[in-house]
A and B are shown apart, each in its own frame.
Chain A
């Protein structure tokens, strides 16, 4: 259909235009969407964070009062930060599972695809659907299925996973149990990408088994590891869905009883859409953004984005 011209020089002049309009036409839909839903919102949100806007009455400039309130006076904000940090701390644990599973799979002589598939399956399912399942497991408080099973295997009787003490721990644990699939796939690909000659050379120097893992495999995986750790941390700052679904369906209150599952994004959501404190919620969002920005810039150095940034 499309053939190579025999006279490239003669026709080449046709492609030279004074000013290229078409590229901008190609970019237009994306630019439009980007300006309306990305660019304007960032500045709008930043502006709102210095006001007391509440959707009903006009906004008044309040300076840095929202930021000051969050950082200095609000116990709820620091509670949300503490809860969020639990999810951040859990990241290395999840990554250890991912890495262990990747090592395990790559050591198997056959059935690698099958096991990788089974391990990834929970991550491929709808996270909301998994939440419905978890919520049923803990509903009815001390008489929940999970409490009874835990009592049967030797834990104290009457553990209440819908109570303020254990709700957050349960959501954390359920996330750990099902959330390590993507990391495993990345590590598994990373392990296969290591040049086998390193191991042959290492073997001549007496590096086998654990020694080879420590001196060859882990240094070779360093970039992948850093990337997964940082993207995992960014993700854990944004935790929302699991808390909302398990909280709503399992405990009857949106983020668990007595704010026990309140992290930063739920706090933003609640302040903005339950209390209509749009200004204050925006300020919290920007405080969160500043931390995530730092982590993202670091991750771009190690991830695919690194190439584009010239790192």
Chain B
């Protein structure tokens, strides 16, 4: 039904302009009504979608007794910054910066490691390249829960249990990212790369000075997905990290909640801010990335 809006009264206009204008006036009224209806539905849906967020946003500024108050009210009588004291204390900032560190290092390494592999598979000729590509591709089918138990055992054997390095190295190599990067780099013009080589630029220099700048869209997508998946990573820290001082934010939110729900929700809100900033800054890349992979998750 909604799609009929796509075809306005153009055809009639071309055939019989005088009747067309008359009809258009009547159609304009009908269209106006239809648009009002559409916008009413759109706004209603927006209200439902945004409600939990708006509610969260107001709740974190309420004093504790108002959060528990019955009947619950959307708006508070008194607003306070009390809850923000908690997120500015070491209790919260420690896991926060811990997560920032792990997430940023993972994102940079993901772009570098998977970018180099994607480039080699897209633009270099060597024996075994097709086999390696299909091996990577086939491992995309394996859900990462399969790796859970052996990854734990491997990390344990490496003596890296309960370290930040463990969280980073288990999350860097991503067959899905290699696949995306390779598909994109296949489209880069060979002539430019050949020209660089002929001028004596090494493969490394070609990669960093020509290929990387030309591939920012796909590398941006990989960086964003890496950031999102590692920032929200719960399962890996759950099995690899035990010491509370090494908790990441997801672990902290679940295992070290404050007894005050206002403080917990403020912590949850602040936890959402970095992904939100990344989302807002790179929204353009993001929707393209979703179209490329189907989800916002690591493949």
Contacts and interface: CB of A to CB of B under 8 A. Distances in A.
Contacts of A303: 294
Nearest first, the 7 closest Cβ-Cβ pairs linking A and B are A33-B173, A41-B150, A30-B117, A107-B2, A129-B268, A132-B268, A26-B120
A83 B293 CA distance: 27
A70 interface: no
Contact of A3 (B39, B143, B195, B234): B195
Given A20-B126, A285-B149, A182 B296 contact: yes
Interface stretch (B22-30, B84-92, B246-254): B246-254
A171 interface: no
Interface string B253-296: 11101000100110111011001100100010001001111111
Interface string A113-133: 001011101111111111111
B70 interface: yes
A268 to B, nearest CB: 6
23 contacts: A3-B199, A5-B195, A27-B116, A41-B151, A41-B154, A44-B150, A104-B2, A107-B2, A107-B3, A118-B49, A125-B276, A126-B249, A126-B275, A128-B268, A177-B49, A212-B4, A234-B143, A244-B238, A285-B145, A293-B142, A304-B183, A304-B294, A308-B137
Interface of A: 1-5, 8, 11-12, 14-15, 20, 22-24, 26-27, 29-34, 36-42, 44-45, 48, 101, 103-109, 111, 115, 117-119, 121-133, 136, 139, 145, 148-149, 152, 177-178, 182, 185-186, 189, 196, 199-200, 203, 208-210, 212-213, 217, 227-228, 231, 234-235, 237-238, 240-241, 244-245, 248-249, 265, 268-269, 272-273, 278, 281-282, 285-286, 288-289, 292-293, 296-297, 299-300, 303-305, 307-309
Contact of A115 (B42, B132, B183, B254): B42
Nearest to A21: B126
Contacts of B113: 29-30, 33
B198 A8 contact: yes
Interface of B: 1-7, 11, 35, 38-39, 41-42, 45-46, 48-50, 52-53, 55-56, 70-72, 112-114, 116-117, 119-121, 124-126, 129, 132-133, 135-137, 139-143, 145-154, 169-170, 172-173, 175, 178-179, 183, 194-201, 203, 207, 209-210, 231-232, 234-235, 238-239, 249-250, 253-255, 257, 261, 264-265, 267-269, 271-272, 275-276, 279, 283, 287, 290-297
Given A127-B232, A228-B294, A106 B3 contact: yes
Nearest to B109: A29
Contacts of A115: 42, 45-46
A124 B276 contact: yes
A122 B272 CA distance: 10
B175 A2 contact: no
B154 A40 contact: yes
Contact of B46 (A119, A127, A241): A119
B6 to A, nearest CB: 6
Contact of B268 (A34, A133, A152, A228): A133
A27 B52 contact: no
Nearest to B125: A20
Contacts of A209: 1, 3-4
A34 B150 contact: no
B150 A48 contact: yes
Per DSSP, are chain B's interface residues mostly helix, strand or loop, or mixed? helix
Given A2-B210, A130-B52, A296 B141 contact: yes
A124 B283 CA distance: 10
Given A26-B116, A101-B45, A33 B141 contact: no
B254 A249 contact: yes
Contacts, number: 318
A139 B132 CA distance: 50
Given A15-B198, A37-B154, A41-B154, A128 B250 contact: yes
B150 A23 contact: no
Contacts of B234: 128, 240-241, 244-245
Given A5-B195, A107-B38, A309-B137, 19 more contacts: A2-B196, A12-B198, A24-B120, A27-B117, A39-B135, A41-B149, A105-B42, A107-B5, A122-B53, A128-B253, A128-B254, A133-B52, A209-B3, A209-B4, A235-B295, A269-B148, A272-B152, A285-B146, A299-B294
B153 A44 contact: yes
Given A103-B2, A152-B71, A108 B150 contact: no
Contact of A272 (B137, B148, B199): B148
A261 to B, nearest CB: 14
A34 B114 CA distance: 11
B197 A23 contact: no
